[in-house]
Chains A and B, each alone.
Chain A
Amino acid sequence: MAVNCATSSSLFISKPSNKPSPSSVTTTPFLGFSLAASTKPAVQSKRLFKICCHDKPAVIPAEQQWMFDDLTGPDVWNKTWYPKAKDHIPTSKTWYVVDASDKILGRLASTIAIHIRGKNLATYTPSVDMGAHVIVVNAEKIAVSGKKRTLKLYRRHSGRPGGMTVETFDQLQKRVPERIIEHAVRGMLPKGRLGRSLFTHLKVYTGPDHPHEAQQPKELPIRDKRITKQT
């Protein structure tokens, strides 16, 4: 792969304190030697950025010799990282707990879905479950703004003609309060096989107790500043 040697002015950062400065020395971080010595004349202007010195032996400084000792392993530097099985062991996932009292339904569901899906992690992969488990307690105290408490409708259909059932937010909260949060989060998770298994990582409970103390859940970090109902 042709390396853009003229623009590789930024060094691969090994010391966090150094600010990378655009230097005039054209050093490739991986080869460790200056490409300015390549003497092939630029015949075509578009071909300037090619490595012209494959025939010369690479001069590796002594402190970087360890990097080039064993090049037989997999190429982790040029291939995008994909998680292996040991990177997403289900038993070592993080568990979060969040109290739903007086939180706005949609904003809370959005934060929960982001954590369940793993989109807050730099190791996010769409095809792999890298997310955390989330426990929601006090589900019956969830809040909605405006007149949604009496006007928001929840519909379901049994499949048969005339089998549509419509309930308001209030009625559903009296009947099965957990379903409100589950419905909201399920709508925000991806639909598909993986989405369905992600949904099983959400645990919703009415009341302040939950049976998952053994998992030592942490407090869910919420960044949304408007998530608490303004009274």
Chain B
Amino acid sequence: MYASTPPRSCMQHKLAKGFRGRAKNCIRIARERVEKALQYSYRDRRNKKRDMRSLWIQRINAGTRQHGHALSSFSPATAVYSPVTTDRPILIFVAIFSFHTRVNYGNFMHGLMKENIQLNRKVLSEISMHEPYSFKALVDVSHSAFPGNKAAAAPKKEGLAILL
């Protein structure tokens, strides 16, 4: 039984360079590990495409949220007549936080689709990193096309509870 084969004549032995422990030296172990490594590389050539797209989406998300904080704002406090009281209506000033101007990946992409801007996520992520002003222009375009779903317009319940 050979502890290690002298020259790296076997192809699998050559592929085992950089492996941990005996897997780089001993052909019996190296063969198994190389088989596994090749299986992983087959699988991961397909996974890489998914991972890359997920990374682009995360980067676009971060970029839009950075810009979105300039866009989202509080709507002015509105007067709401309380429906609960019996004779006189009570004005309740409730500040409705305008979630409907939320800028995130979802709303951003929806706005882009509405405007028929067909930049893909890879390019959008590169723009968000290296061309911030251009990206801000894109965010503005998307926001004007699709400001976001309006939040439930009903005033918060704790507004009534404070009064009662």
Asked if A34 is at the interface of the complex by the 8 Å CB criterion, the answer is: no
As a 0/1 sequence over residues 6 to 18 of chain A, the CB contacts with chain B under 8 angstroms (1 = contact) are 0111100110110
* Residues of chain B from 95 to 145 with CB closer than 8 A to chain A in the complex: 97, 115-119, 122, 125-138, 141
Tell me whether B36 is interfacial, beta carbon within 8 Å.
Answer: no
Query: Is B59 interfacial (CB 8 A cutoff)?
Result: yes
Indicate which residue in B62, B122, B133, B136 contacts A80 across the interface (CB closer than 8 Å). B122
Which one of A9, A20, A122, A223 lies within 8 Å of B141 (CB-CB)? A20
Whether the Cβ atoms of A81 and B126 lie closer than 8 Å is yes
Does A215 touch B at the CB level, under 8 Å?
no
Q: Interface size on A (CB < 8 Å)?
A: 26
Q: Apart from A81-B129, A120-B66, what are 14 other A-B pairs with CB-CB below 8 Å?
A: A8-B118, A13-B134, A16-B133, A16-B136, A22-B116, A80-B125, A80-B126, A122-B62, A122-B129, A123-B59, A124-B62, A125-B55, A221-B69, A223-B69
Chain B CB count within 10 A is highest, among A77, A120, A124, for A124
What is the chain B residue whose CB lies nearest that of A127?
A: B55
Cβ B137 vs Cβ A80 within 8 A: no
- Chain A residues lying within 8 Å of B147, measured Cβ to Cβ, are none
Binding site for B on A (CB under 8 A): 7-10, 13-14, 16-17, 19-20, 22, 77, 80-81, 119-126, 221, 223, 225, 230
A123 x B136 contact (CB < 8 A): no
Whether B62 contacts A121 by the Cβ 8 Å rule is yes
Contacts of A20 in B (CB 8 A): 115, 117, 141
* Residues of the A chain whose Cβ atoms lie less than 8 Å from the Cβ of B148: none
List residues of chain B with CB within 8 A of the CB of A125: 55
Q: In the docked arrangement, what's the CA distance between A230 and B161, Å?
A: 13
A124 touches B58 (CB 8 A): yes
Q: Which of the listed residues A10, A121, A122, A126 has the most CB atoms from chain B within 10 Å of its own CB? A: A122
A122 near B59 with CB under 8 A, answer: yes
Q: Which of A13, A16, A17, A120 contacts B65 (CB 8 A)?
A: A120
B116 touches A124 (CB 8 A): no
